[in-house]
Amino acid sequence: MTILRSPRTPSGATDRGIPDATVARLPVYLRALTSLADQGVASCSSHELSVAAGVNPAKLRKDLSYLGSYGTRGVGYEVEYLGYQIAREIGQTQDWEVVIVGVGNLGAALSNYQGFSTRGIRVAALVDADEKRIGQEIAGIKVSALADLPQIIDERKISIGIIATPAEAAQQVTDLLVAAGVTSILNFAPAIVHVPEGVDVRKVDLSIELQILAYHEQRKSVAPTTIQTAVSL
Amino acid sequence: MTILRSPRTPSGATDRGIPDATVARLPVYLRALTSLADQGVASCSSHELSVAAGVNPAKLRKDLSYLGSYGTRGVGYEVEYLGYQIAREIGQTQDWEVVIVGVGNLGAALSNYQGFSTRGIRVAALVDADEKRIGQEIAGIKVSALADLPQIIDERKISIGIIATPAEAAQQVTDLLVAAGVTSILNFAPAIVHVPEGVDVRKVDLSIELQILAYHEQRKSVAPTTIQTAVSL
DNA sequence: CCTTGTGAAGCTGTTCACAGCC
DNA sequence: GGCTGTGAACAGCTTCACAAGG
């Protein structure tokens, strides 16, 4: 016996809800709308918004169509209203408390990062394995011991954890977070971590981003020759 | 007159070369291979490597097939040999010098990041607009003035720039980098930057990663109810 | 008119399943 | 026998182009 997932609804979304690619862009649209609102713009077309968000206007409209019909044909979108609808959809009407594990250079920078608070993200706790760091204050938060992690997560009902440890510690920290009840992890450590079903992991890998750019750089320096060869045939 | 792109070559790659999705995973495979080599493993199957890299084995084999046939049927892959082939393909046999613009918390953390050097990335220069930071040493590198950016890029033949400034400065810094000859940019500022054709931009947005996780968290907490409702009808 | 919302087409990426080869 | 390499099927994402509607 197998549970079948309906392949795709008539609108194009699957029964999992909004497509992943769209979810990843909604925060970008929200930021663009907030910026427009700050400039005193009350309404805008899909074209204007798409320029601010750096996407194709058709893609923007398709993305917004998954949320509902919040525009007016012939006119455009009301900036504040659309912003509220997106914020509601992505859960930004509430605050999300996160714990950062590992307060080395990167962890400390994340703790001090100003961009989180306006996006509904609050760094609620800092944890480290290093004795020398425990008890220190970073961004006004006292660093706790790794052993206190379960209690912190339980008391503060934290469901999102950030891993900013060395690669060697990443899997162990992941297991601790998951055991304590965390169901979403943002992993900055350059290591693949394995999690049980139901837990989401996103990975940000600084070296890999640069390696991808380096690949394209390499191609740029050899490509002209290739094209010339093709043309001269 | 229009230049037509061949839709798909027999192998599945387009005439642009290796698919983007594959390029993004090659550094992950390389890291997994390096790790295996450090453990003294001389050869491995696509299955073993796929576990280490956190992907499906069929996907791994398909990805590797774009590079050539570097495995042995019935046996697997020689770790060191395959590692070298991937390194060559992604340009990691040479060092890439990068400039970091903005040495606040994040820029400083990136400057000190240990993971770059082993991946062929060398932080060659640091630049900031703030008078108070110019002349300071971070990770053994003196911070230069923004005005010196063109000279630094020209002298050191830098083609990759990292933006770690506040959002407001991102577009201006981008324009400076591009004017000075940079053709690849890694943007950590929470802003969309526009670049001329031929320049690659990758964006790492810390808030957005967490917002995406928050969206899925929100769904996790409401999904069971939805299912129950559906069932009880 | 204008711009949204959306079927449909086209493209990219993933997975399957098996032929090919050691 | 076992594992790689790969065509083919499938799924998801993007883009087009136009109907719908202010």
- Strand pairing category for A96-101 and A160-163: parallel
Alpha-carbon gap: B6 to the closest alpha carbon of chain A (Å)? 13
Topology given in CATH for the domain delimited by B96-208: Rossmann fold (3.40.50)
Question: By three-state DSSP, how is residue A206 classified?
Answer: helix
Question: Which three-class secondary structure string do you get for B124-167?
Answer: EEEEECCCCCCCCEECCEEEEEHHHHHHHHHHCCCCEEEECCCH
Instruction: Check residues 19 to 58 of chain B and report those whose beta carbon is under 7 Å from nucleic acid strand C.
Output: 19-22, 55-56, 58
Mean pLDDT confidence for A137-156: 98
Residue with smallest Cα–C1' gap to D16: A58
Cβ atoms of residues B213 and A186 within 8 Å: yes
Q: Using the predicted structure, report yes or no on whether residue B11 has a pLDDT greater than 80.
A: no
- Strand pairing category for B71-72 and B76-78: antiparallel
Mean pLDDT confidence for B226-230: 42
Which of the four CATH numbers 1.10.10.10, 3.30.420.40, 1.10.940.10, 3.30.1490.20 does domain B20-89 have?
1.10.10.10
Strand extents, DSSP E, chain A: 43-44, 71-72, 76-78, 96-101, 121-128, 137-138, 141-145, 160-163, 184-187, 200-203
Alpha-carbon gap: A200 to the closest alpha carbon of chain B (Å)? 7
- Which residue type sits at A70? Y
- Main-chain dihedrals φ then ψ at residue A115, nearest 5 degrees: -75, -15
Q: Using the predicted structure, report yes or no on whether residue A114 has a pLDDT greater than 70.
A: yes
Looking at residue A221, what is its pLDDT? 85
Mean pLDDT confidence for A215-221: 94
- Which residue type sits at A182? V
Question: How high is the mean pLDDT of chain A?
Answer: 91
Residue B221: pLDDT band by 50, 70, 90 thresholds?
Answer: confident
Looking at residue B43, what is its pLDDT? 98
Domain boundaries, chain B: 20-89, 96-208
Looking at residue A230, what is its pLDDT? 40
Which residues in chain B touch residue A162, judged by CB atoms under 8 angstroms apart? 210
Q: In this structure, what token pair is assigned to residue A162?
A: 């950030």
- Which residue type sits at B56? N
Please state whether strand D lies within 7 Å of residue A233 at its CB atom: no
Residue with smallest Cα–C1' gap to C20: B73
Q: Please classify residue B106 by burial: count the beta carbons closer than 10 Å to its beta carbon, then call 0-12 exposed, 13-18 middle and 19+ buried.
A: buried
Cβ atoms of residues B45 and B73 within 8 Å: no
Residue A232: pLDDT band by 50, 70, 90 thresholds?
Answer: very low
Mean pLDDT confidence for A29-58: 98
Question: How high is the mean pLDDT of chain B?
Answer: 92
Which residues in chain A touch residue B200, judged by CB atoms under 8 angstroms apart? 213, 216-217
pTM comes to 0.93
Q: Using the predicted structure, report yes or no on whether residue B82 has a pLDDT greater than 90.
A: yes
Query: Are residues A204 and B202, on separate chains, in Cβ contact within 8 Å?
Result: no
Looking at residue B10, what is its pLDDT? 61
Q: Which of A17, A31, A108 sits opposite B219 (nearest CB)?
A: A17
Q: In this structure, what token pair is assigned to residue A152?
A: 């912190």
Looking at residue A11, what is its pLDDT? 55
Mean pLDDT confidence for B200-211: 98
Higher pLDDT: B232 or B102? It is B102
